[in-house]
């Protein structure tokens, strides 16, 4: 915090997607004063499902019982030959 400028931030995070939130997380761990702008208009679980779907469309192969959701189902359909069938 800047005593002479209380409205001045150490870090400005543009975007509140996964990367922006990690930036805010690490800034907070370092006791930096930060501001996050650009909140997404999507719920976290929906964002994760969409990211899995997009990665699957480009051939990503996910393994594990909880890939992509909290109930163990897969919300995406991969176009990868290794996962089709």
How many angstroms separate the Cα of 9 from the Cα of each of 6, 33, 40?
Answer: 8, 5, 21
- The pLDDT of residue 20 is 86
- The pLDDT of residue 74 is 54
Digit-coded pLDDT (tens) for 2-31: 677 778 899 999 888 788 888 999 999 999
Could you tell me the pTM of the whole model? 0.46
* Confidence band, pLDDT 50/70/90 cuts, at residue 67: very low
Taking the CA atoms of 3, 29, 66 and 18 in sequence, report the sign of the dihedral they define. positive
The fraction of the chain above a pLDDT of 90, given in percent, is: 15
């Amino acid at each position: 915090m800047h005593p002479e400028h209380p409205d001045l931030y150490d870090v400005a995070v543009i975007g509140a997607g996964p990367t922006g939130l990690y930036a805010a997380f690490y800034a907070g761990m370092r006791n930096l004063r930060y501001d996050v702008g650009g909140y997404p208009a999507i719920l976290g679980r929906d964002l994760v499902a969409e990211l899995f779907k997009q990665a699957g469309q480009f051939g990503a192969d996910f393994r594990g019982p909880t890939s992509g959701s909290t109930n163990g189902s897969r919300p995406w359909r991969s176009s990868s030959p290794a996962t089709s069938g």
